[in-house]
Amino acid sequence: MAEVQQDMQFHQLVQQALRAIDQQEAQMHGSVPARMTGEVSPVKALVDAVLSEAADEGASDIHVEPQASSVRIRVRIDGLLQRRHELPKRVYAVFLSCIKVLAKMDVSKTREPQDGRFTFARKGDAGDIDVRAATMPSIHGEAIVLRLLPRDGHVWQLGALGFSEKDEARIRALLAHPSGITAWVGPMGAGKTTTLYAGLSELNREETSIVTLDDPVEYLLPDVLQIPVREEAGMTFAETFRHVLRLDAEIFAVGEMRDEATAEVALRAALTGHRVLTTLHADDACLAVLRLLEMHLPPYLLAATLRGVIAQRLVRRICPDCREAYAADAGEAEVLGVPVGTTLYRGRGCPACHGTGYRGRMVLAEVLVLTERMRAEIVRGVEIEELRKLAKEAGLRTMREDGRAKVLAGETTWEEVRRMLGGT
């Protein structure tokens, strides 16, 4: 019912926008193109409605994409895009101009990419949203993607992210170590920054000095010195990090270890007794160690400073409103290593989850805590298979094994685990 009402309200706003555009074009006798009229109030109401609806649903992004005859609006919820509305192209021309005005872009430029940002004030008690906008020309016109960042910067608690008890305890032990580097790894969108900040919130004490470097700052932590990195102004992560080392902090959180220069500064900070928390792009925990070695860090120094690596992905949780039990078939039973007929769970699909069967996300993780033997092998030049063997001996549970456990616990589905990790 709520979806039907949203569709009706959206359609009414589109019709109002069309009438306003017709009236304005009649007044101007067609002397100014519709794309230049970014101040049509019904179109501004339409922009507000799209932003409000997406924010209320917890979307992270809005994709507005011209097609051959209309414009498609999709929202990214729980990591996947879902179709919501369509706009007539005549309305979209003014819709796009309205967003460009808000984001302080050049309305007249339509054949080159542009970036901008603005703050969207939500109604009532809902917090404001920082919106990052990016346009890109396509064969059917300019597309625009809007990234939604709540200004309240809600920080998750570590215990609410879905880690197993054993992995959560290992992460807390890594966070408690007085010095060294702990890295969160995975592809873009794997929740690395979310988990890092959940850990920071547990370390945030009156007697502790914490400094963060981010591009941009997505989460706000009270009593923490948070510094936005501005690479366009020549202040890279490495350069900014070198300066903040003088700030007498115990803990540094570096949004991303992008290059050799940043890794070298992090290593220096760890060697001088600081805790360094960072993120890195790598497929799994063991590969992250090799990735750091590829940055030309001296193996003996990396072995001395790297405390641990948390690799993770995000999978969707089964919707609690439409969750149902079913018996595993032969294929599922073989993959999961359980008897045929074992009880598994899935979502039927309901209005609460927009028919997807999933609502919310949780982590699949593997937590690598370096042992003395691993450190010795890193110094000698460890091969990836040997490191994996040592990690398993030390109790590492892979993300696939973590996913299997969560499927059998009825928290997600094997289809979802396979979607994120690949394989059968």
List, for residues 346-366, the tens digit of each pLDDT value: 999 999 998 999 999 999 999
Mean pLDDT value of segment 404-408: 97
Token pair for 280: 């890195």
Among 400, 299, 412, residue whose Cα is nearest residue 361: 412
Residues 288 and 312: beta-carbon distance below 8 Å: no
Is the per-residue pLDDT at 293 higher than 70? yes
Is the per-residue pLDDT at 380 higher than 60? yes
Highest mean pLDDT of the ranges 35-39, 41-45, 120-124, 337-341: 337-341
Among 388, 420, 391, residue whose Cα is nearest residue 407: 420
Domain boundaries, the chain: 2-150, 158-421
User: Helices 89-102 and 2-28: crossing angle, nearest 10°?
Assistant: 90
pLDDT of residue 38: 44
pLDDT of residue 41: 84
The dotted CATH code for 158-421 is 3.40.50.300
Q: Pairing state of beta strands 129-138 and 141-150? A: antiparallel
Is the per-residue pLDDT at 257 higher than 80? yes
Token pair for 389: 């063997």
pLDDT of residue 17: 86
Q: Pairing state of beta strands 80-87 and 61-66? A: unpaired
pLDDT of residue 4: 66
Backbone torsions φ then ψ of 169, nearest 5 degrees:
-65, -40
pLDDT of residue 37: 45
Mean pLDDT value of segment 373-394: 95
Among 408, 183, 416, 415, residue whose Cα is nearest residue 289: 183
Token pair for 421: 């990790």
pLDDT of residue 1: 56
Q: What is the DSSP letter of 234?
A: T
Reported as a single tens digit per residue, the pLDDT across 14-61 is 888 888 888 877 776 655 444 444 445 888 999 999 999 999 999 999
Say how many C-beta atoms besides its own lie within 10 A of residue 241's C-beta: 26
Residue 208 to residue 219: CA distance in whole angstroms: 19
Do 2-150 and 158-421 agree at the fold level? no
Q: What is the mean pLDDT of the chain?
A: 91
Tell me what percent of the residues of the chain surpass a pLDDT of 90: 75
Reported as a single tens digit per residue, the pLDDT across 204-246 is 999 999 999 988 788 888 899 999 888 776 778 888 898 888 8
Mean pLDDT value of segment 396-406: 97
Say how many C-beta atoms besides its own lie within 10 A of residue 98's C-beta: 23
pLDDT of residue 34: 45
3-class secondary structure for 97-154?
HHHHHHCCCCCCCCCCCEEEEEEECCCCCCCCEEEEEEEEEECCEEEEEEEEEECCCC
Residue 266: pLDDT band by 50, 70, 90 thresholds? very high
pLDDT of residue 394: 95
Is the per-residue pLDDT at 164 higher than 60? yes
Domain 2-150, CATH number (from 3.40.50.300, 3.30.450.90, 3.30.1490.20, 3.40.50.10800): 3.30.450.90
Residue 73 to residue 63: CA distance in whole angstroms: 6
Residue 419: pLDDT band by 50, 70, 90 thresholds? very high
Residues 32 and 40: beta-carbon distance below 8 Å: no
Among 91, 109, 107, residue whose Cα is nearest residue 99: 107
